[in-house]
Amino acid sequence: MTDPTDNRPKPLPPTNYRANRRRQERTLLFLVVFVLVVIGSGLIGLIWGVQSAILGGLCLAGGAALITGLWLLLSLLQKFVDE
């Protein structure tokens, strides 16, 4: 029987560290791609001009695609190994 005057807090559900790690990895990937493409293109544009920024942005987008592809490959391998 439960005591109505019992003011103890309810226990919290267990922490899912794997989900937290996946979420953090995804956030870090987005931040790296953002900094690489947007900030990098902006700096190129400030230093060398708009035309160079466009070409540099295309090259940086290719690098971001490579980083994203490697991240996807490693994520798929990790899911395959975990199962």
22 belongs to a structural domain: no
Q: Is the pTM of this model over 0.95?
A: no
Count of structural domains, the chain: 1
Domain limits at 68? 36-82
Question: Vertex 34, ends 31 and 40: CA angle to 5°?
Answer: 125
Q: How far apart are CA 41 and CA 56, in angstroms?
A: 6
64, burial (CB in 10 Å: exposed 0-12, middle 13-18, buried 19+): buried
Task: Note the pLDDT tens digit of each residue in 6-25.
Answer: 678 888 888 889 889 999 99
Task: Note the pLDDT tens digit of each residue in 62-76.
Answer: 999 999 999 999 999
55 belongs to a structural domain: yes
27 belongs to a structural domain: no
Whether the Cβ atoms of residue 67 and residue 29 lie closer than 8 Å to each other? yes
31 belongs to a structural domain: no
